[in-house]
Structure 1
Amino acid sequence: MKKVLMPLILICVLFFSCTKEEPNILNITSFPDRNNDFTVWQIEQFRDISQMGYLIRTDDNKIIAIDGGSNDTAELLNDFIQQLGGTVNYWIITHPHDDHVGVLNGFLSKRNNIVIEKIVHSKIDLELIADHEPKSYSYIKNFYQKLEHSGISLHEPKTNDVIEIGDGVNLRVLSTANEDIKINLVNNSSLVFQLNSKSKRVLFLGDLGVEAGNKILQNGTLSNLRSTHVQMSHHGQGGVSKEFYSAVNAKIALWPTPIWLWENNLDAKGYNTGTWKTIIVKSWMDEIGISQHIVAGIEGTSQID
């Protein structure tokens, strides 16, 4: 029996260690010695799920979370936030789809040792969601109820608002909920904003669609779009137009994109076998003059200083 037992134990250990994926938790406590600036972390695509999460630390130690990703990232994000002190001064929601706010939804359901001081979100009318995106209605209604009863201060920004989030760092709002655009309602209502400092302007688009992107191009001052970094909309495909990215004129593209989507690889059939537009969008960015692509599905959690 002893000769059989040890191999069985070894097989069981190997099975469970291989079937339960653990997050690759990095040490993120090393920062440049400077003032009036900020660091960005693009969070990895944990378990190869298409999702979006960013963490920001200003040089005066203000912590900002942007979306966070699906609930699968809970352990990972919790650990990162604890490394940064355990308090999130601003949790910014671009839009309330599960692949963006699932982790926050989970944190609101089960209180942990994270302190959230303020949530920034441009809410979307639930009746409009019920009428124009009914598949999202139940989830978003439940999420909004949790927000309401969380006791956390909710700030609903307006277009052109400027929020000072740290010494020398401000958040400029370029677009809020677009309830006049019924197509792709929730994505087109993504909060669009820039984080600005003396060294960089980082533009966040969430999952903004071409319709809302065109509205910004038509109604806004194009110089306000100019940025050094741009977060690729809708995980890098099916988002805003080439003309929009041209107006942004960024040099660094941030892709909250798993590797299969980056390669347009359908069911492991190979490169560019799917119907996603990622390869096309990448070619746009190369034509526009992007000098660096930072892809979460390839590089994991990346620090941008």
Structure 2
Amino acid sequence: MVSLKYFFSMTKAYWGNIGFAFLFVVGLIVILVLEKEKIKRYAFLWYSLLVLVFIYNPITLLLSRKFLESTTFDQYYLRYFSLIPVMAVIAYMFTLLLKRLQGMKKLAGVLASCLIIAVLGNCIYTEDWFTKAENRNKVPQDVVTICDLFADYQGDVVRIMAPQDIAVYLRQMDSKFSMPYSRFLPDEAYELSNPNPEVSEVVKYANENNVDYVVVSAVDNVLNAYLNYGFEIYGRTPYYAILKVFTPSWILTEYSMASGDQGMCYTMENISDGTLIVIDGGDAKNEQTVRDAINERGGTVDAWILTHYHQDHVDSFNAIYENPQGIDIKEVYVTPLDADKFYQVAQEWDDVDSFDKFIEITEGANNINYVSRNDELSFDDLKITFFNAYDEVVEDCVEDIPNNDSLVFKMETANRSMLICGDCHSRYMADYLVNTYGDKLQSDILQCGHHGNNSMPEDTEFYEAVSPEVAIFDTPDKIMTSPNYTAGALAAYLQQLNARIVWYKSAPNVFGL
């Protein structure tokens, strides 16, 4: 039954409508009746029947499944049908019939034959797979552009990885392109055009096979996934981007809030030894998301950095620290906010309960580290430098101390860097950071203070000092797109500075450092 269904589907795929199948059957009958020469009968009639028996044979199907590549089996089995001399049989049928006619009848028969073929057939110029050649090489123009981009490449071989529709032509166009696979593409190659690519799989494959460049779809969500990971654009075509492979040592992941609100939650994992750093964690509804993220990475947090004590940053930490359920938290780094000062300046939105809970559950703990401005931490090749923590500078700010006491710190490896601002957002603090640290603020990735809403003013030169490639807004669409908030305006400003904008819309967002 399975074989019958498969044969039926293949027959439908090959013949399409029944017009030519009908003509073919009629042709076999005409040859059987009218053709008397054995050699011609063998050539047209018996050969056709033998091919049909071969194709529609369960044994053929069974053996083919055993030896042919499973991922492309259908297209290979469909090729068996090309052994059927369809047009030869139909043409010879018309020849036999026309030989029996004379004069105008023969001419009318020829015209009728042509008309039948035209009516039953399809014009190839209307098919999707048939297009006008874009260049004299008769290959997609994207391929020609890619070859031109590497025209001045210094080296004998370009180790490159490309989607199938590009790969087959690159080899034909230029012999210096070398790919680590033949016609059978590895699973990793499909990630080059996957709408939600697993970039880590491509990096792993590229490293194992000495691949230096990849060709990926230029669709925003695909391309941005690779750029976030640290790949660099070597060149572009209308439909593809050629990227230099980047191998990060740390993977940073931004998570959205399960509550659907703004918040802040990041994990930073060392690829080689599994060292895990968690930044904030988000509100109470995000607890399970944080637990899952930690457990998926081994269940041990080597360093948990809390930027400040508002509920959308610290409540998940409070819940997990109070009830670890097997999670091991080695060290916690926090801003040393003075409790008396906090109670003195706290407004109704400043979440006193979250701060009180943190103080309660960490009392007497020996793994709570209060950070000072200019402190540094090191984890393997990752360096963390703190540019802000609660001290007299924040007190002098006066404005919104519970937010502006946020830890502001730079995480950097030899290749990439990120500046975390927490909820630090006032003009005073922006001016202080620019005047004090200047070029040290420059980072490839910026986490915008206060979720990008009512953040550091654009005229402070703060964003020019950071000059980010990517700007992250830890916020949902309702804040990014509403005229009632300033996040959209800041995003537009950062885009003018050539920064790509990332927010919860595409979360979880993954970055390589």
TM-score (norm 2): 0.49
State the identity as a percent.
22
In structure 2, the partner of 1:42 is: 254
Query: 5 Å matches for 1:286-305?
Result: 286-290=495-499, 292-296=500-504, 298-305=505-512
The 8 Å contact of residues 172 and 193 in structure 1, kept in 2 or not, is answered as yes
Consecutive unaligned residues in structure 1, runs of 5 or more? 1-25, 265-271
Pick from 365, 372, 392: which aligns with 1:158?
372
After the TM superposition, which residues 193-208 of structure 1 pair with which residues of structure 2 at under 5 Å, given as runs?
Answer: 193-208=409-424
**Structure 1 residue 188: deviation in Å?**
0.5
Structure 1: how far apart are the matches of 2:199 and 2:331? 23
Note if contact 2:495-2:501 (Cα within 8 Å) is conserved in structure 1: no
Alignment partners' CA distance in 2, 1:49 and 1:231 = 17
Instruction: Measure how far apart 1:123 and its partner are.
Output: 1.7
Secondary structure at the aligned position of 2:446 is classed as: strand
Question: With CA pairs under 8 Å and 6+ residues apart, which has the higher RCO, 1 or 2?
Answer: 1
Structure 1 vs Structure 2 CA RMSD:
2.1
Q: Deviations over 1:78-130 (max 9, x none)?
A: 11111100000000010110000110011123231211000001221111111
Residue identity opposite 1:203 in structure 2:
L
The alpha carbon displacement at 1:30 in A equals 5.2
1:134 Cα deviation from its structure 2 partner: 4.6
The one-letter code of the counterpart of 2:290 is L
More strand by share: 1
Please give the secondary structure, in 2, of the residue aligned with 1:303.
Answer: strand
Aligned to 1:22: none
Query: 1:174 offset after TM fit, Å?
Result: 1.0
The aligned residue for residue 121 of structure 1 is 334
The alignment status of 1:239 with 2:451, answered yes or no, reads no
User: What do residues 228-252 of structure 1 show as CA deviations (whole Å, max 9, x unaligned)?
Assistant: 0000111111121222111110111
Query: d(CA) in 2 for partners of 1:82 and 1:29?
Result: 22
**1:75 corresponds to which of 277, 284, 288:** 288
**Which amino acid is the alignment partner of residue 310 of structure 2?**
H
Give the match's secondary structure for 1:111.
coil
- Indicate the residue corresponding to 1:223 in structure 2: 439
Q: Which has the larger radius of gyration?
A: 2
Q: Deviations over 1:31-62 (max 9, x none)?
A: 75588721100012323111110000023321
Structure 2 equivalent of residue 262 of structure 1: 480
> What is the aligned length?
265
The one of 428, 431, 437 aligned to 1:214: 431
Partner of 1:51, secondary structure, is coil
In structure 1, distance between residues paired with 2:323 and 2:275: 24
Checking the alignment, whether the CA contact within 8 Å between 2:281 and 2:316 is kept in structure 1 is yes
Amino acid at match of 1:147: T
Does the 8 Å CA contact 2:315/2:354 hold for their aligned counterparts? no
- Work out which of the residue numbers 248, 253, 265 in structure 2 matches 1:53: 265
Residue pair 2:257, 2:285 contacting (<8 A) in 1 also? no
Deviates most, 233-242 or 88-97: 233-242
Higher helix share: 2
Paired amino acid for 1:187: N
Gaps of 5+ in 2: 1-195, 208-246
1:84 correspondence with 2:293: no
CA contact (8 A) 1:126 1:141 kept: no
User: Which contiguous aligned blocks of 4+ residues in structure 1 show a shift greater than 6 angstroms?
Assistant: none
Residue 257 of structure 2 contacts residue 283 of structure 2 at CA under 8 Å; is this kept in 1?
no
Amino acid at match of 2:494: M
**Secondary structure at the residue paired with 2:259?**
helix
Deviates more, 1:154-163 or 1:31-40: 31-40
